[in-house]
Amino acid sequence: MASDSHAAEHTSPLHHFEVHNIIPIPEIAGIDLSISQAVIAMWIGIAVVFGLFMLIVSRGVSPVPSKLQSIAEVLLEFVRDMVNEFIGKEEGKKYFSFVGTVFFFILACNLVGLIPGSYTITSQLVVTGVFATGIFLMTLVIGFAKHGAHFLSILVPPGVPKIMIPVMVPIEIISMIARPISLSVRLFANMTAGHTVLAVLFGLAMTAPGWISWAPFGFTVIINGLEIAIAFIQAYIFTILTCVYIGDAVKLH
């Protein structure tokens, strides 16, 4: 943020990505543990998911689903189909709860961020980077626990002639390490880009003369609708790639 005046800071389209501490907590061992709006947005995301499912369960589940119950069933079956397809029916049961948690948490955080005035934690590379790195380390642990040293053969694609192995191994290492980076950057970039577009259009609506300012404002409404679709699509892509990566580690080709 190069601007020095207070007014210019508020019209910057990137202004709402800044993290501000709301409840300051003194540093413990050099780590800043203050409650920022990102932390609060994360809590809201957790509360939305937890509240929705607790509401459904507390009403009692029946063989003939109520409206809310069928929403939950559709969502859970959607996740279960993904897990079944990419990890496998038997193996997938172990990872279903993790994959479901990832999906619902990211979806809730994306959607919470679309409420004007709230905060999108998935627009921070740190947050998505931690998700993706955690998933990457998890696949490594799963792979080594399941296959032992044989897991290293993931670096050699099947059917490669012996001469090509010294060439293929660095290529596979690069594409392996690129996975968590592309996973995190994709979610972060999509959310950041969408919210920046919204902020720019809002800026136009605020500064344009009255007779035309309805046009950018109308666009913000349309883009907001598009952003809801993107929130779902990005949560879906993140989850499906999580399944693919876990499935690769489990099945090993």
Partner 1 sequence: MAFRLGIEMAVATFLGAAMGYALDSFFDTKPWLMVIGLFFGVAAGGLGVYRVAQEIQFTDNDSNEEDQ
Residues at the site binding partner 1, with contacts judged by CB under 8 A: 170-172, 174-175, 177-178, 181-182, 185-186, 189, 237
Nearer to partner 1, 35 or 181 (CB): 181
Tell me the CA distances in angstroms from 65 to 56, 74, 77, 104, 116, one per residue in order.
10, 11, 14, 20, 33
Nearer to partner 1, 33 or 177 (CB): 177
Nearer to partner 1, 199 or 243 (CB): 243
Task: Output the smallest distance, CB 106 to partner 1, in A.
Answer: 16
Task: Output the smallest distance, CB 175 to partner 1, in A.
Answer: 4
Give dist(CA 66, CA 59) in Å, integer.
9
Name the β-bridge partners of 28: 31
Crossing angle, helix 89-113 and helix 37-58, to 10 degrees?
A: 120
Take residue 93 and report the two structure tokens written for it: 């049961």
Nearer to partner 1, 8 or 181 (CB): 181
Task: Output the smallest distance, CB 41 to partner 1, in A.
Answer: 25
Strands (E), the chain: 21-23, 35-36
Phi–psi pair at 231, nearest 5 degrees: -60, -45
DSSP 8-state class, residue 248: H
Nearer to partner 1, 22 or 177 (CB): 177
Task: Output the smallest distance, CB 176 to partner 1, in A.
Answer: 9
Task: Output the smallest distance, CB 132 to partner 1, in A.
Answer: 11
CA 49 to chain centre: 14
